[in-house]
Amino acid sequence: MGIQIAIEHRTTYRFDRATTVHPHILRLRPAPHSRTPILAYSLTISPDDHFINWQQDPFGNFLARLVFPEPAKRLEFTIDLVADLTDEDEAQRRRSGLIGFQLHVGPPMKASFKDIRVKRLPLEDVRKVVFLAGVPSHGAWAHEHNGGCRALANALNDNMGDQILATVYQNGWPSDPTAFENADAVVMYCDGGGRHFANFHVPQLAMLSDSGVGIGAIHYAVEIPAGDAGDGFLDWMGGYFEANWSVNPHWDPEFREFPDHPVANGVKPFTIRDEWYFHMRFRDDMKGVTPILSAVAPAETMSRKDGAHSGNPHVRKAVAAGLPQHVCWVSENESGSRGFGFTGGHFHKNWMEPNFRKTVLNAIAWIAKVDVPEEGVESPNPTEAELEALLDQTQKTRKPRKKPAPRKEAAAK
Query: What pLDDT, in 10s, does the model give residues 329-371?
Result: 999 999 999 999 999 999 999 999 999 999 999 999 999 999 9
Average pLDDT over residues 138-152: 94
Task: Give yes or no for residue 96 having a pLDDT over 90.
Answer: no
> Was domain 127-396 assigned CATH 3.40.50.880?
yes
Average the pLDDT over each of 39-43, 127-131, 187-191 and give the range with the smallest value: 39-43
pLDDT (0 to 100) of residue 403: 47
Handedness of CA 118, 123, 125, 130 (dihedral sign): positive
Q: What are phi and psi of 14, to 5 degrees?
A: -125, 140
Average the pLDDT over each of 83-92, 122-131, 333-342 and give the range with the smallest value: 83-92
pTM, 2 dp: 0.76
Alpha-carbon gap, residue 266 to 106, rounded angstroms: 64
pLDDT band of residue 23 (cuts 50, 70, 90) is: very high
Alpha-carbon gap, residue 327 to 291, rounded angstroms: 8
Q: What are phi and psi of 358, to 5 degrees?
A: -65, -40
Average pLDDT over residues 314-336: 97
CB 209 within 8 A of CB 217: no
- CATH 2.60.40.2250 in the chain, residues? 2-119
Fold for the domain defined by 2-119:
Immunoglobulin-like (2.60.40)
302 C-beta neighbours (distance < 10 Å), count: 19
Residue 326's alpha-carbon distances to 28, 133, 279, 352, in angstroms, are: 67, 24, 7, 22
CA 79 to chain centre: 38
Q: Please, which residues have CB within 8 angstroms of residue 388's CB and are 6 or more apart in sequence?
A: 396
The SS3 call for residue 199 is: helix
Task: Give yes or no for residue 93 having a pLDDT over 70.
Answer: no
pLDDT (0 to 100) of residue 404: 45
326 C-beta neighbours (distance < 10 Å), count: 21
Average pLDDT over residues 295-320: 97
Q: Which of 237, 57, 218, 62 is nearest to 149 (CA)?
A: 218
pLDDT (0 to 100) of residue 109: 65
Average the pLDDT over each of 16-30, 231-245, 321-335, 341-355 and give the range with the smallest value: 16-30
In the predicted model, what is the mean pLDDT of the chain?
A: 90
Q: Which of 152, 153, 199 is nearest to 172 (CA)?
A: 199
Average pLDDT over residues 385-413: 60
- CATH 3.40.50.880 in the chain, residues? 127-396
pLDDT (0 to 100) of residue 399: 52
Instruction: Calculate Rg over the CA atoms of the chain.
Output: 30
CB 50 within 8 A of CB 67: yes
Residue 358's alpha-carbon distances to 187, 221, 318, in angstroms, are: 15, 19, 29
pLDDT band of residue 412 (cuts 50, 70, 90) is: very low
Average pLDDT over residues 35-63: 91
Q: Which of 12-19's residues contact partners 24+ apart within 8 Å by CB, and which partners?
A: 12/74, 12/75, 12/76, 12/110, 13/74, 13/75, 13/76, 14/73, 14/74, 15/72, 15/73, 15/74, 15/75, 16/73, 17/73, 18/71, 18/72, 18/73, 19/71, 19/72, 19/73
